[in-house]
Amino acid sequence: MGKKGIQTKGLIQENAYLLFAEKGFAAVTMKDICEVCGLSRGGLYRHYGSTKEIFEEILQGIADMDFDFIKEGIGKEQSARKILNQILEKMQRELLDEENSLSCAIYEYSCHCKNDFMIEMNQRAKQKWTLLLEYGIKNEEFKPVDIESMVDIILYAYQGIRMWEQVIPIDVKTVENVLEKIRKDLVGDYDRV
Amino acid sequence: MGKKGIQTKGLIQENAYLLFAEKGFAAVTMKDICEVCGLSRGGLYRHYGSTKEIFEEILQGIADMDFDFIKEGIGKEQSARKILNQILEKMQRELLDEENSLSCAIYEYSCHCKNDFMIEMNQRAKQKWTLLLEYGIKNEEFKPVDIESMVDIILYAYQGIRMWEQVIPIDVKTVENVLEKIRKDLVGDYDRV
Amino acid sequence: MGKKGIQTKGLIQENAYLLFAEKGFAAVTMKDICEVCGLSRGGLYRHYGSTKEIFEEILQGIADMDFDFIKEGIGKEQSARKILNQILEKMQRELLDEENSLSCAIYEYSCHCKNDFMIEMNQRAKQKWTLLLEYGIKNEEFKPVDIESMVDIILYAYQGIRMWEQVIPIDVKTVENVLEKIRKDLVGDYDRV
Amino acid sequence: MGKKGIQTKGLIQENAYLLFAEKGFAAVTMKDICEVCGLSRGGLYRHYGSTKEIFEEILQGIADMDFDFIKEGIGKEQSARKILNQILEKMQRELLDEENSLSCAIYEYSCHCKNDFMIEMNQRAKQKWTLLLEYGIKNEEFKPVDIESMVDIILYAYQGIRMWEQVIPIDVKTVENVLEKIRKDLVGDYDRV
DNA sequence: CATGAATGAGAGTTCATTCAT
DNA sequence: GATGAATGAACTCTCATTCAT
């Protein structure tokens, strides 16, 4: 594939992303994508054979950008509380930027095209949180919670909000409530960095 | 509308339910519903003008069957812990019966047809849990948690699982973990009814 | 057919008339007629098998009410000019009451269901005018015009206006122009009754 | 739009014209047009979204070819009588070629899709005739008739025949009668070019 | 007589997909 | 690589028409 081809693929991904964020997965047609990309039918098909294919490449791109700073932080022997705060802040930012969220689309995609993509994503997230909790508890920075339960509730509450905010208006307060409860469950009331 | 008509509407709802549970909302066509109901095109259109219409009637039916036993329980001055256990058991049953869950469909529907239905459902659920927590705390059956945070995390964790179990395999353990954590946060380790 | 049946047929004709006047012939469906009559499908079909059937009965009713006062007038040896004025006034009234005109519908019907109905109507009209012109010329009340040409131009100009007023706004002036020219061609400028 | 597209549009217009002339406006479906054009459904929709759209383009084409030789003739200071004879001959040719007349279709179209197209066509025609009559009277080639009445009767009689010949058989004689009367009203009996 | 449920044919419309240019 | 014309399948929706009640 030449330089031009790669460029066009990039263009397609960018425009398709916005479309998926806006309309979900199933409602987006190849025709729609042609239009937002200013590309002809044949032109699009030269690069991708279906919306599924395009979507999967977008997902792959996202997965690759995942937050690796947990591992990094632990490697650098940073404070567990500091890492926790960073994550919670990142989560908050994401939860409040509902606009450009692919949540709907990802969910629809997953329901329709059963595959292991989501399973992997989920496992990765679980692993990271487990790592962090073990690290924090070992260092006596976190309370000795039941790690498994805690990780489960963190992840599903996060995902729950992430998805429902597409459907019902969720105010900042709710997001703060949930994140704050997580923080308290882990570090108690002592402090807040 | 005669007796026959009501019967047919019921038939349509039952069959459509299964279809929506299986395929989500958007992927179901009027034609599909015709087929599963053994009804002709015109016959179906006699009763419903769109999948949306059918889906909304199904949702309404569900909403009407909502768990009112919280209010009842409080009215009868039952133990808060007993009520809690009942709810948690109900939630568990629902979470483990992923097969017939409309979660996907509801979510898709909500994303595509923005309306107040979900908002109402959410508010109702919040109200009920708030009621229960206030009641339990007042009676000193529950720990004096921050009610708002607790309710938020309960609901979103529940919804998070409910939805993601359509996408990734969730084992019984996870469900138990989450529900158990909720129970512990409220009543501590003392007992389990 | 019982009394009730005749009543219902009358009801159907009245309501269908308005519908045909409003929407033309082809655009009216049996369903539409059911609705305006407040009748069920089966109920309507008991009386008429198609819109064509209904329309033809309506037309028959109209044809029967045709202006027979030309013959009457001549029989009573009335003045030809007086009869002419009566007819022209009647035509004017009809041309100005475009609202309830079946023109569109009749035309559509005729185009689609070629039959002799229109031919008969046309011939009858020609006969009557010919009669009147012969009578008037014989009595030296009318100028000695070429009867055939005159009758043709009268009838087609009338029909032309009748139809086009459904499509373009025709002002009173135009109607008066045309009718006045007919009068002048026949009786000259002497007088106006 | 490429060369191929323009070709196809032309093909569609030609074939659709014949269909409209045969069946009127409303009775023609997109499917019918597909068939006569030997085009697939999607292929037709590529170019036109509805029969209305196609019909309007055909009408536009006709309007553009309108008889401009009145203006030309006057510009070249031709004899008014000569111009009149040309027009009358053209009208006669049109009135006798009922086969390919869009009259029915235009009328139906106008009844159903009220718009200014017909009004414009009508005004244009009136203007031209008025121009000619003024010119002829000024040059003392025509009798000093009342221009407005005369124009009205000419146009509506013409339209009347044009439309009714779709419905009732009109013989050559009738057409000649009407046109001859117009000629006589204007130039008298002196001569015939 | 009248109702309204049901059938089935057919029109409108939209797309994924292919292909000549 | 890219264009846009064309195909054909699938879906939505509307009716004429029938029939059990």
C118 touches chain D (CB under 8 A): yes
Domain B58-187 is found in CATH 1.50.10.20: no
Contact indicator for B130, B151 with CB cutoff of 8 Å? yes
Contact indicator for B36, B18 with CB cutoff of 8 Å? yes
pLDDT at residue D189 in the model: 64
Smallest CA–C1' distance to F14, residue: B42
Contact indicator for B112, B105 with CB cutoff of 8 Å? no
Q: What is the pLDDT of residues C116-144, one digit of tens each?
A: 888 888 888 899 999 999 999 999 999 99
pLDDT at residue A65 in the model: 63
Judged against a pLDDT cut of 80, whether residue D186 lies above it is answered with: yes
Mean pLDDT, range D18-30, rounded to an integer: 92
**Is it the case that chain B and chain C have 3 or more CB pairs lying under 8 Å apart?**
no
Judged against a pLDDT cut of 60, whether residue C7 lies above it is answered with: yes
Contact yes or no for B177 and A26 at CB 8 A: no
Judged against a pLDDT cut of 90, whether residue B132 lies above it is answered with: yes
* pLDDT bracket for residue B186 (50, 70, 90): very high
Q: What is the pLDDT of residues A31-90, one digit of tens each?
A: 999 999 999 999 999 999 999 999 999 988 887 666 677 888 999 999 999 999 999 999
| Ranges of each domain in chain A | 58-187
Q: Is A54 exposed, middle or buried (0-12, 13-18, 19+ CB in 10 A)?
A: buried
Q: Which residue out of B101, B167, B179, B186 would a mutagenesis test of the A interface target, given it has the greatest number of A Cβ atoms within 10 Å?
A: B167
Judged against a pLDDT cut of 60, whether residue A190 lies above it is answered with: no
In Å, what is the separation between the CA of A106 and the C1' of E17? 25
Nearest C-alpha of chain A: how many angstroms from B7? Answer: 32
CA angle B167, B168, B173 (to 5 degrees): 135
Which residue on chain C is closest to D160 by alpha carbon?
C160
- Where is mean pLDDT largest: B47-56, B111-120, C54-63, C114-123? B47-56
Nucleic acid strand F within 7 Å of A46 CB: yes
**Which of strand F's nucleotides are less than 7 A from any protein C-beta?**
1-20
Contact yes or no for A108 and B112 at CB 8 A: no
Smallest CA–C1' distance to F6, residue: D43
A120 touches chain B (CB under 8 A): no
* pLDDT bracket for residue D112 (50, 70, 90): confident
Q: What is the pLDDT of residues A116-156, one digit of tens each?
A: 888 888 888 899 999 999 999 999 999 999 999 999 999 99
The nucleotide lying nearest A52 (C-alpha to C1') is E16
What whole-number distance in Å separates Cα of residue D96 and Cα of residue D179? 12
Report which of residues 111-150 in chain A place their beta carbon less than 7 angstroms from any atom of strand E: none
The 3-state secondary structure of chain A reads CCHHHHHHHHHHHHHHHHHHHHHCCCCCCHHHHHHHHCCCHHHHHHHCCCHHHHHHHHHHHHHHCCCCHHHHHHHCCCCHHHHHHHHHHHHHHHHHCCCCCCHHHHHHHHHHCCCCHHHHHHHHHHHHHHHHHHHHHHCCCCCCCCHHHHHHHHHHHHHHHHHHCCCCCCCHHHHHHHHHHHHHHHHCCCCCC
The nucleotide lying nearest D39 (C-alpha to C1') is F6
Q: Which two tokens stand for residue B146?
A: 């921050």
In Å, what is the separation between the CA of D176 and the C1' of E15? 56
* Residue A156 Ramachandran class (φ > 0 left, ψ -120 to 50 alpha, else beta): alpha
- C78-82 long-range contacts (CB < 8 A, ≥24 apart) are C79/C141, C80/C132, C80/C135, C80/C136, C80/C139, C80/C141, C80/C142, C81/C136, C81/C141, C81/C142, C81/C187, C81/C191, C81/C193, C82/C193
Q: What is the pLDDT of residues B31-90, one digit of tens each?
A: 999 999 999 999 999 999 999 999 999 998 887 776 678 888 999 999 999 999 999 999
Report which of residues 46-65 in chain B place their beta carbon less than 7 angstroms from any atom of strand F: 49-51
Nucleic acid strand E within 7 Å of C1 CB: yes
* Higher per-residue pLDDT: A162 or B12: B12
Give the chains touching B; criterion: ≥3 Cβ pairs < 8 Å. A
Contact indicator for C117, C77 with CB cutoff of 8 Å? no
pLDDT at residue B150 in the model: 95
Q: Which of residues 35-64 of C touch D (CB under 8 A)?
A: none
In Å, what is the separation between the CA of B42 and the C1' of F13? 9
What is the pTM (predicted TM-score) of this model?
0.85
Nucleic acid strand E within 7 Å of B39 CB: yes
Q: What residues of B are in contact with residue A112 (Cβ under 8 Å)?
A: 24, 27
Which residue on chain D is closest to C109 by alpha carbon?
D167
Mean pLDDT, range D43-66, rounded to an integer: 89
Contact yes or no for C163 and D158 at CB 8 A: no
Judged against a pLDDT cut of 90, whether residue A1 lies above it is answered with: no
